[in-house]
Amino acid sequence: MIDFSKLEKKLNIEFINKSLLEQAFCHRSYLNENPGFHSDHNERLEFLGDAVLELVVTEYLFKEYNNPEGEMTNWRAALVNAITLSGIAQDLGFGDYLLLSKGESKDTGKARQYILANTIEAFLGALYLDQGYEKCKVFIEDYIIKELPRILKDGSHRDAKSYFQEMAQEKTRITPTYKVMKDWGPDHAKSFVVGVFLDKELVAEGEGLSKQEAEESAAKNGLKIKNWN
């Protein structure tokens, strides 16, 4: 079993069930190369942790702000997306404890970003089972919700697709369309490049691990190219 004592000390959290903590860091790819490993992969914990994270963030925003639902939905999305969560996981040193296949451990790009984000959610699932909701709430407020002022300041909560459409209709009276330009990789880890078009004009392209993420990236790049920021 991996020694998580340094991480536990850093987070001021000591797990009662260490096997839950280890499972939170075990990626499916590791089990493919080590089928006899004593732990399961972290996807079920991730499913649970995602729900805990969403509830804590929603509860916090509801209690602390009187803003319209749509605005708070965008704030929540920016707090729990892969970019924010992977950055926090990196800062906390989660990458040092990941159990990955040899292939996955060499990847330092977008795929690693998603693995780190999913590991944060799996960690929260493990923490919830081990110590309950309140302990998860403390962790989320200390490490995730504290990012909200930065997100509001830099505007990363804004839905780029909606804003690009709004600006395109205002400036050109054309509704943008999106088209997959290329995709590659296995079904469970596909990458996409999507183009955003105004009529027949290809304005920009964006890349992502889902069509939605690639569309959002294309819209962001389109806003820059058109100087609509």
Residues labelled catalytic = 50, 121
- In one letter, which amino acid is 46? E
Q: What percentage of the chain's residues is helix, strand, coil (to nearest 5)?
A: 65, 10, 25
If phi > 0 it is left, if psi is from -120 to 50 it is alpha, else beta; for residue 99 that is beta
Which residues does 46 contact at the CB level (< 8 Å), separation at least 6?
Answer: 118, 119, 121, 122, 125
* Pair 178, 194: CB distance under 8 Å: yes
